[in-house]
Chains A and B, each alone.
Chain A
Amino acid sequence: MKKTSRRDFLKLAGATGAGLLACGAGSAMANEGLQVNNDELGMLYDATKCVGCKACMSACKRVNSDYGSLSYEKAKFDEDGLWDAPSDLSGSTRTLIKLFKESEKRWSYVKYSCMHCQKPSCVSVCPVSAMTKEKVSGIVDYNKNTCIGCRYCQIACPYNIPKFQWEKAVPQIVKCDLCKATNLREKGITACAETCPAGAIKFGKRKDLLEEAHQRLKDAPDKYVAHVYGEHEGGGTNHLYLASMPFNKLGLPEIKPEAPAEFSEKIQHTIYKGFIAPVALYSTLCFIAVKNMKKHKGHDDDHQKGDK
């Protein structure tokens, strides 16, 4: 093998240097930081008030049946078709009540639906902007007419909320959109919050919900775990939780205050800011390759005779 000449090495070092420089310039500009908007719409679910009647689930399915939510769903274990509820969120179920059982005396209901993050991972990863976050309301919305069905949103969502219709030839993603096109537009409130007979679901602006949640914690500190889930998780969510049991036992994952999307975007922006690095890389490589080529052409022309 021929040894690398010093010149080759210098060329390579130059190319790498140019690339690194471009990267450095990018990272200096990439400090955007996350602004929390407390005027966005959200819901506060209080697990201690929930009675597990699942009226919210039925209401959600009734209202949103035109938007991918089936009026009923058969669970896998339900061979006789007698069970009353789906086993999990799915391509036809946007919200779900589950029951965590610690012992015979201690248990807690828990509601699952989209958390409507301040900095949603699904919006950050969607390659064609089918997932969007509305500027004013903060609703994380899905547009099936743009979606290509790559399911990257499912990979990215730390709460496993977006669901895919695996059994359909023309599938779509299904997730809560705060009844944006249905109940919210008609009545100004989500179907689940409107229906809840126990007052476990409160609908409103994030700042009011946070105030309410902290008031409840203050009024009855023995009743609750001293934490509002969603206040800081993953950069903050608009769907907030209060509960009497540790949240990770209720199936709500422990998530650091930094939004996962912040982390990945910081790296992606560092590499691609202003498209400087790729262009610098391309032009440096072109320079080297053309130069190499010329050297050889000169060489070959001496020897090649008379081919047109």
Chain B
Amino acid sequence: MGHSEEYQKLEGRIFTKSFFILLSVVLLGFYFVGVRYVKGIGAVSNMSDGYPWGIWITYDVATGTAIACGGYAVAILVYIRNRMQYHPMIRSAILTSMFGYGLAGFSVMVDLGRPWNAYNFFIPSKWQANSAMFEVALCVMAYSTVLILEFLPAILTSIEKSKWERMNAIRNWLHPKIAPDKKTMEDKLEMVRLGAAWLNPRLNKVLIFFIVLGITLPTMHQSSLGSLLLIASTKLHPLWHTGFLPLLFLLNCVFIGYSIAILESIISSYSFKRPFEIEELSGLAGLIPFVTVIWLTVVIGDLSYRGQIHAALKGDFYSGWFMTEFLLVACGSLILFVKKARKSARWLFISASMIVLGGALYRFNVYLIGFNPGQGWKYFPSFAEVMITVGIVALEILGYKVFVALFPVLPNMDLHGAHKKKGHAKKHKGSEADKHLPAGEAHAH
């Protein structure tokens, strides 16, 4: 890979020790998925008629998609707020979003009791527009498709440039009797390459409309994830049951999105031994407090309007969880108001983690902890149930690690690390690879 591109592949081996550890976790999770399909949901989970939604919905869907909102949050910043300097971060953000949403969809299929009937979502006579679930389902399916389209340029570019080393290696490894003829294979691969080269510029021309769709859809379904619990007015604790649930969920996913983009960048810089992108990160971090302050204000304003402030300060089980969630977000944001903290990778990491934890806890509070179906019902996830979720998360990390090695996803260090010194000099170095995301890489200051 040349030095002149915005994104680069990660050098190094794919099959490392951590790869196999993750793989074994994935396999264990999928064993339990198999058990679930043979013996029913009750055999692997502690869900009951009182708590029909367990951690699969609460974590994998409601919280997981918020954590996968990095792509959404960064796309707003780059394409709507016109901050092109964050463009190098967008591809890894979209990749994690793609895995997050894809696997949320997968765990829904594990969670659904009668998944073979899911085709009814595409039959207009069965549509039920009153249902927030209907809206969430269609939006999430559409958004997953959009995410794949948004990521496609990275795949097309690497097909265009591929020398098919891996394919040839596999061919050579196969027994000559079953291996395809070398010439035919090369011809066919050449056709794939030409196809990719044909599609890539055409996709680029319309990509911006998909990108904007990728901003509209999460706005819709993230707020609807809050609307899902509006109907549970007798079951959800008054600390959380409010008409503002859709707004709170929307704001919540935005600040989680920015925080997770920071965490992802710090973690991948650390584990792939690349320099931290402090300049961009502190810029992102400066935005978070604006969103969290609105969120916290709506929470307090709504509680006092409904006369529930006393419930928040009561000191019982529910108020404890509420205070934890509230203080995590508030304290995390307070740190980010300090300019010095925004320039330090350590403090950025601490505050972003606090905000993600607090924001995620908010979603747990709404879906599980604050949910009380009545006397006699209890829920705590079983081992198998947790392992299915852990397996899915492990698959997500595994996929990320493989993809950053196969495709140009991470910001190019040579360009990016030198961002401060070179300033806008780098934009002269545009190459074909830059064009797949129509905005180009450079932002003139």
Contacts and interface: CB of A to CB of B under 8 A. Distances in A.
A293 B373 contact: no
A36 interface: no
A185 B125 CA distance: 26
A176 B220 CA distance: 35
B53 A155 contact: yes
Interface in B380-437: 427-428, 430-432, 435
B427 A289 contact: no
B243 interface: yes
B80 A267 contact: no
Contacts of B444: 299
Contacts of B132: 125, 264, 268
Contact of A146 (B53, B120, B223, B375): B120
A261 B233 CA distance: 9
A272 B230 contact: no
B304 interface: no
B127 A268 contact: no
Contacts of A282: 212-213, 216
A129 B53 contact: no
Given A149-B114, A268-B227, A286 B232 contact: no
Contacts of A261: 130, 231
Contacts of B31: none
Interface stretch (A157-165, A190-198, A199-207): A157-165
Contacts of A268: 130, 132, 135, 224, 227, 230
B183 interface: no
A260 B234 contact: yes
Contacts of B442: 300
A77 interface: no
Contacts of B215: 285
Contacts of B13: none
Contact count band on B: 35 or more
Contact of A263 (B126, B133, B231): B231
A292 B79 contact: yes
Contact of B209 (A163, A166, A172, A286): A286
A127 B131 contact: yes
Contacts of A156: 231-232
Contact of A278 (B82, B220, B229, B440): B220
Contacts of B125: 129
A224 to B, nearest CB: 24
A270 B81 CA distance: 27
Contacts of A290: 208
B307 to A, nearest CB: 16
A8 interface: yes
Interface string B111-128: 111110110110001111
A271 B133 contact: no
A154 B134 contact: no
A128 B40 contact: no
Contact of B117 (A128, A165, A260): A128
B235 interface: yes
A227 interface: no
B80 A149 contact: no
A146 B81 CA distance: 43
Contact of B435 (A172, A251, A253, A307): A307
A127 B85 CA distance: 41
Residue of B53, B126, B374 ringed by the most chain A CB atoms within 10 A: B126
Interface in A112-147: 121, 124-130, 144-147
A106 interface: no
A307 B234 contact: no
A285 B52 contact: no
Contacts of B440: 296-297, 299-300, 304
B49 interface: yes
Nearest to B220: A278
Contacts of B438: 293, 297
Nearest to B42: A166
22 contacts: A1-B286, A8-B82, A12-B81, A90-B49, A91-B49, A125-B133, A127-B128, A128-B121, A128-B128, A129-B128, A149-B114, A150-B113, A151-B53, A155-B53, A166-B49, A167-B42, A251-B374, A260-B232, A271-B227, A278-B216, A293-B438, A300-B442
Given A147-B113, A147-B117, 6 more contacts: A91-B49, A128-B128, A129-B128, A155-B231, A253-B374, A295-B82
Interface of B: 37-43, 47-50, 52-53, 79-85, 111-115, 117-118, 120-121, 125-135, 137, 208-209, 211-213, 215-216, 219-220, 223-224, 227-235, 243, 246, 282-283, 286, 373-375, 427-428, 430-432, 435, 438-440, 442-445
Interface of A: 1-2, 4, 8, 11-12, 15, 88-91, 121, 124-130, 144-152, 154-156, 158, 160, 162-172, 251, 253, 255-256, 260-261, 263-265, 267-269, 271-272, 278, 281-282, 285-286, 288-290, 292-293, 295-297, 299-300, 303-304, 307-308
